[in-house]
């Protein structure tokens, strides 16, 4: 990998973290396209993005914990239930073509962009940050 690409990855990684810290979402949504630019397939980029999310989540949860905002019982229930969903999602993702997976991801980006723009239009029902 060239020095340029490594620098690109570091800058985009940092930016993804800033956005995740600011919006409560947004790490994975930038990791996936960044990893595709670095040469990974769409599926490998998505799988790798999930591992890349972990350090950000750990840092973020640790900070939130000190503010006392985390409902641990709800988080545990959500997390355990999500494992079943994750198993099904892996089956879906591995059965789709690279091209379709990429197009679906682009649609997700458009949906999130629209949701963010909507937040700016009127008083927000969601927080703009943690």
Partner 1 sequence: MTPKLVLIGLVAGLFSTIFGVGGGIVLVPLLILLAGFDSRPATATSLAAIGITALAGTILYAFEGHVDVAHAALVGLPAAAGAVAGTSLQQRVSSRALTLAFAFLLLLVAVWMLAG
Work out which of 97, 98, 100, 108 binds partner 1, going by CB under 8 A.
Answer: 108
* Residue 57 in contact with partner 1, rule: CB under 8 A: yes
Work out which of 2, 3, 4, 51 binds partner 1, going by CB under 8 A.
Answer: 51
The string over 38-56, giving b where at least 16 C-beta atoms fall within 10 Å of a residue's C-beta and e elsewhere, is eebebbebbbebeebbeeb
* Residue 120 in contact with partner 1, rule: CB under 8 A: yes
Work out which of 3, 84, 122, 123 binds partner 1, going by CB under 8 A.
Answer: 84
Work out which of 50, 97, 98, 100 binds partner 1, going by CB under 8 A.
Answer: 50
d(CA 56, CA 64): 12
**How many other CB atoms sit within 10 Å of the CB of residue 20?**
22
CB 44 within 8 A of CB 35: yes
* Residue 123 in contact with partner 1, rule: CB under 8 A: no
Q: What is the CA radius of gyration of the chain?
A: 16
* Residue 83 in contact with partner 1, rule: CB under 8 A: yes
* Residue 100 in contact with partner 1, rule: CB under 8 A: no
* Residue 92 in contact with partner 1, rule: CB under 8 A: yes
* Residue 97 in contact with partner 1, rule: CB under 8 A: no
CB 21 within 8 A of CB 32: no
Counting every residue, how long is the chain? 130
Residue 128 Cβ, how far from partner 1 at the closest point, in Å? Answer: 4
């Amino acid at each position: 990998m060239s020095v340029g690409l490594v620098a690109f990855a570091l800058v985009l990684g940092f930016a993804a973290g800033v956005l995740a810290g600011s919006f409560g979402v947004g790490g994975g949504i930038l990791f996936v396209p960044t990893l595709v630019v670095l040469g990974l397939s769409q599926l490998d980029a998505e799988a790798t993005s999930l591992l890349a999310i972990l350090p950000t989540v750990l840092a973020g949860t640790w900070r939130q914990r000190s503010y006392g905002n985390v409902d641990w019982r709800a988080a545990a229930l959500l997390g355990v239930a999500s494992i079943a969903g994750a198993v099904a999602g892996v089956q879906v993702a591995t059965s789709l073509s690279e091209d379709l997976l990429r197009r679906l991801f682009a649609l997700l980006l458009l949906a999130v962009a629209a949701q963010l723009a909507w937040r700016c239009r009127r008083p927000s029902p969601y927080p703009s940050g943690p």
